[in-house]
Amino acid sequence: GQNIDQPTEMTATEGAIVQINCTYQTSGFNGLFWYQQHAGEAPTFLSYNVLDGLEEKGRFSSFLSRSKGYSYLLLKELQMKDSASYLCAVMDSNYQLIWGAGTKLIIKP
Amino acid sequence: GAVVSQHPSWVICKSGTSVKIECRSLDFQATTMFWYRQFPKQSLMLMATSNEGSKATYEQGVEKDKFLINHASLTLSTLTVTSAHPEDSSFYICSAREEDRATEAFFGQGTRLTVV
């Protein structure tokens, strides 16, 4: 079967750095996405990785290792507004998105 | 990025009535649209995939006669929840994909449905 695993909840301090991990087992691979979702809102796109390595975009970076079925989202200089759920999703061979359950990130002052 | 508009943002309806949710791609042609349902503190659950001009493909366990999907044009898909029940109360989200950008999907704002 297809499976996406990510931690349920993480806590970090304002100004610090946090890494959210995601491991996956899917039928084929056409890229891995990270989305941010605030409570009661639709997800917003953060990053897309299809090749191994690190993609940096401002305070957010995303890493992919296809051989390990592993990705992480790195958030630097955390701000209170970063408190949200972070969803990892993999696009399979049929171009369908397989979603993880999301990681709720709590930022403390 | 491309814009997907979903309407209404929230709706309250009585049990037994039907509710229609619209999903529009504003600045691109959406060859494929996806409808998701999300219960509190859970991830998105794909309900169905629709391609313009053809019947929607429903995920296992989703009643096609209850959740009617119409994708009549390249910019509009609708989801109608028929004979709604309180257990249908959920957050419904659409996303749209452009044919030439097969690896990107853009989300609507979501619709909070409450059935009383």
Query: pLDDT tens digits, residue range A90-106?
Result: 988 877 788 899 999 99
Question: Does the structure show a pLDDT above 90 at A33?
Answer: yes
Averaged over B83-93, what is the pLDDT? Answer: 95
Neighbours of A20 (CB within 10 A): 22
Picking from B43, B46, B110, the nearest residue to A42 by CB comes out as B110
On whether the CB atoms of residues B97 and B105 are closer than 8 A, the answer is yes
Which residue, among B37, B40, B38, B10, has the nearest Cα to B116 in the 3D structure?
B10
Picking from B6, B102, B110, the nearest residue to A95 by CB comes out as B102
Chain A CB contacts of B46 under 8 Å are 96-97, 99
Q: Which one of B10, B39, B43, B58 would you mutate to disrupt binding with A, by most A Cβ within 10 Å of its Cβ?
A: B43
Backbone angles phi, psi at B115, to 5 degrees: -105, 125
* pLDDT number for residue A40: 81
- Contact status of A95 with chain B (Cβ, < 8 Å): yes
Q: Which one of B6, B10, B36, B44 would you mutate to disrupt binding with A, by most A Cβ within 10 Å of its Cβ?
A: B44
* pLDDT number for residue B32: 87
* pLDDT number for residue B43: 80
Instruction: Categorize the per-residue pLDDT at A2 as very low, low, confident or very high, splitting at 50, 70 and 90.
Output: confident
Strand residues in B26-89 grouped as ranges (E): 30-38, 45-51, 57-58, 67-73, 76-81
Question: Does the structure show a pLDDT above 90 at B66?
Answer: yes
Q: How far apart are CA A46 and CA A73, in angstroms?
A: 9
Chain A CB contacts of B43 under 8 Å are 87, 99-102
Q: Quickly tell me which residue has 């366990």 as its tokens.
A: B61
pLDDT in tens, B6-45: 999 999 999 999 999 999 999 888 888 999 998 887 788 9
